[in-house]
Amino acid sequence: MVGSVAQLKCIYTNAHSMGNKQEHLETIVQQENYDIVAVTETWWDDSHNWSAAMDGYKLFRRDRQERRGGGVALYVKECFDCLELNDGDDRVECLWIRIRGKANKADIMVGVCYRPPNQDEQADKIFYKQLGEVSQSLALVLVGDFNLPDVCWKYKTVERKQSRSFLVWKITS
């Protein structure tokens, strides 16, 4: 029997470079007492190790490799028992964390993804495969910037083939 799902207080932002935004984000997070903080387009690299930490939170991050921009990060409150799932494929900018449920609460999968506007169909397929694997039997929280501006969520219509693939996956899964 799967236990009930825990409630998490989450916040998501597309930072378009964390740069000078770190202190502002920390203030908001501490004031609102968020459990999970998801960030896309961190624009971090190895030179940001000193400034990325946040008191009371474990930091999981996936920096874009060998080119500027992108990157995703998840801050998870230290009180949660969590595990990063990494398939090692750098063609998609996704970060997946499994949070173990306490007592009779079910595990929760949390994902943050950044899909660049020019992402090719092969990378989309890798993302759909990852999404299918992580959503098997767990509660799923997925946030991110998917750069699909032609999706009309109200009427579930699209203009482009790549957007149609995303919408069809979402509806049928």
Query: What is the share, in percent, of the chain residues with pLDDT greater than 70?
Result: 88
Determine the pLDDT at residue 20.
83
Summarised one tens digit per residue, pLDDT across range 114-155 is 999 988 889 998 998 888 888 886 788 999 999 988 888 888
**Span 7-172: which CATH code?**
3.60.10.10
Alpha-carbon distance of 25 to 22, in angstroms, equals 5
Does 173 have pLDDT greater than 60? no
Q: What's the predicted TM-score (pTM) here? A: 0.86
Residues in CB range of 32: below 8 A, 6 or more apart: 9, 11
Q: What is the DSSP string of 48-109?
A: GTTT---TTEEEEEEPPPSSSS--EEEEEETTS-EEEE----TTSEEEEEEEPPPTTEEPEE
Provide the residue type at 153 as one letter: W
Determine the pLDDT at residue 37.
96
Determine the pLDDT at residue 98.
93
Summarised one tens digit per residue, pLDDT across range 27-58 is 999 999 999 999 999 998 877 666 688 999 99
